[in-house]
Amino acid sequence: MAKPLPPFTCSFSSNVPELLLQLKCTLALSTYQAGKVILLSATSDEDLIQLPRNFAKPMGIAIADNKMAVASQDEVTVLANAPGLAPAYPRQPNTYDAFYVPRSTYYTGQVDIHDLEWGGDQLWAVNTLFSCICNIDEDYSFRPIWQPSFIDELNPEDRCHLNGMALVDGKPKFATALGQSNSPQGWRENKANGGVLIDVQTNDLVLQGLPMPHSPRLYNDELYLLLSATGEFVRVDREKGTYEVIHKLDGFVRGMARYDDYLFVGLSKLRKRSTTFQDLPVSEKSVFCGIVIVYLPKVSLYGHIKYENSVEEIYDVKVLPNMIRPGLIGPAKPEHKWSLALPGTTFWAQPDRNGDQ
């Protein structure tokens, strides 16, 4: 009788570790279903290692300079890279080349934040429950900034399932939603074909009738989307109001990051009993969860990372550049209270055996 697999077991294409080492980067993904933010790093040309950290239903991840922000069930946690802490990390010294530790927490309440991005020093969030894009700061639960023109008031009703955004010059420029409804949960009536892409600055509908759009991204001034219900990666012609299918994947695509010539796309294994995901065009093809890597110059599949257990749904995928094996302590681990980062220096204030400092 075969032994059960360890939690978070994954398989991967043989070329993936070498690619991450070549690019000198690490992948970060969020899985609200498993309650983890996971860092995926290469330890050699043949091996990957994972660092899963507990967060309550993590969704959007924002990366900027030395900062990382994670949107979870009812708060946004901001972490900062303090590489000086890495060599003396008490549990695993001389292991990591970067080290993220919590620096602040914003208590937003359960507003179902999806995409999260830094625009300069400002943290922008897609607030799905209130159908708005907002700022996250210390003054309020959130600061509403923009709503689609078809939303007539600010209410906690998830009217259109606003989910994604792309920034230009530090401010939201494009947003995606699963419908144009102005009634509570109204987007569900035509969830498979009612999605829209909106120009936030003009309030124009750039595209309509989309199959569950997610993850709008601007790369070299080209606008791309993931159409989750059909597994398609598309490029948008903003002037014509059309899109071109660049590649089609067998699964529910959501979460996308580009680095160099490579695109890292999250793939989720659909829950057959879910009222949100059942009866979608990809429901029968969505057979595994993981990350698919696309080589953009040829728009060809380069490789994949496939979860064998534990992880079934991915929301966000980000790249941590110039970090071959970063460490991360989440707020759920008590060690973060021992980490002290000051301008120009760092310390570990580890408690003694009696729990005293």
Which pLDDT score, from 0 to 100, does residue 355 have? 43
Domain map of the chain by residue range?
10-348
Query: What's residue 303's pLDDT?
Result: 97
3-state SS assignment for residue 23: helix
Paired residues of 195 in beta bridges? 210
What is the three-class DSSP state of 24?
coil
Please state the pTM of the whole predicted model.
Answer: 0.94
Contacts with 155 (C-beta within 8 Å, 6 or more apart), sequence order: 130, 131, 184
Domain spanning 10-348, CATH class: mainly beta
Q: What is the pLDDT of residues 89-104, one digit of tens each?
A: 999 999 999 999 999 9
CA separation for the pair 201, 146 (Å, rounded) = 9
Q: φ, ψ for residue 272 (rounded to 5)? A: -65, -30
| Burial (Cβ within 10 Å: 0-12, 13-18, ≥19) of residue 193 | middle
How far is 274 from 286, CA to CA, in rounded Å? 13
DSSP H or E run through 22: helix 16-23
Q: What is the pLDDT of residue 357?
A: 38
Instruction: List helix spans (H) across 188-240.
Output: none
Task: Look up residue 188 and give its DSSP letter.
Answer: G
Distance CA 251, CA 101 (A): 34
Q: In whole angstroms, how far apart are CA 229 and each of 249, 263, 284?
A: 11, 19, 11
pLDDT lower than 50: segments of the chain:
353-357
Shortest CA distance to 146 belongs to which of 203, 187, 213? 203
**Type of residue at 253:** V
Q: Residue 52 corresponds to which tokens in the numbers above? A: 């899963």
**Rounded CA separation 53/66 (Å):** 18
